[in-house]
Structure 1
């Protein structure tokens, strides 16, 4: 019985998510109220409030779900020290995040498009900074967190901001490049520097 209830809850949440994204492609996100959302979903407002406190709570849970799924895919953003991996053949860990964004394109168009949610972009940047720090500590196992050079944090901030900014431009360009092309481009820029990238 519990499994059947859980499936029903998941189905309702997916339905609300899909309707929200559909509506947000047609009107500003901030204009979508619980009333509008539930009417288009064919649900009553009571059903909505069984799952969420209000529309803002709904947005936050939706963003958190995406951030958690994205976090599971950014485990290999740094090449190991001494790696001779070809830039033109990036590891799957580089490509997979871009594939995920494309798979969830409606969400990312809504929350990172030209009229997107700045808070989500900042949350994604913070997530990437933490991942870069985690990768750095794995590569420098003799270094404690307290011994990480201050300037290293500036590098993490630069890379995370560049990654999110590049991804945001890709989204706003309606996914003009393939995920593999995006991974190669970011690898070129991050490993060679912008002055040495040739197209």
Structure 2
């Protein structure tokens, strides 16, 4: 009896991203069964625990973080650009890089998963596993966490200043500190960080849209 083919899921609302990843995965891991889902609900209905890897779009990860964090050993977050060091505990794949680099990183991730039973986050990002433990980012202050939450909610600097009853320059200073401490500039990146660290409830984010 032939062993079952390893199954890989690509979960992204982007048709181009999904089809592109499917094509690459089928080419470099020909023994794998690759399934593409444009909605989490379709993916969840297809016995998701049978998949060896989940390649997940950032927004889908944020909206259903409880599911993917519980299965972080097999979940790979699709990023557009190099993943931030603050997301080191997540397994990330930069889909904005060249196809050659993307293929290399997927192969490293897949090979590492078979050696150890789970993919290493840094290896998935295109480097060797980091055994020296880079310094953790400086802890955020309570006020910086407040600002982070409001940024993730979609408020502008002036709105945050009004909400916290502080000067606009104070908000700008806090946001500058967030960038310096976390190394994350985009709201999408801050959202993923905030959800992962438990600063923001992803269900509330979905309800506010």
The TM tier, using the shorter chain, reads under 0.3
Structure possessing the higher relative contact order (Cα contacts under 8 Å, 6 or more residues apart): 1
Q: TM-score, normalised by structure 1?
A: 0.27
Q: TM-score, normalised by structure 2?
A: 0.26
* The structure with more radius of gyration: 1
Name the structure with the higher strand share: 2
Name the structure with the higher helix share: 1
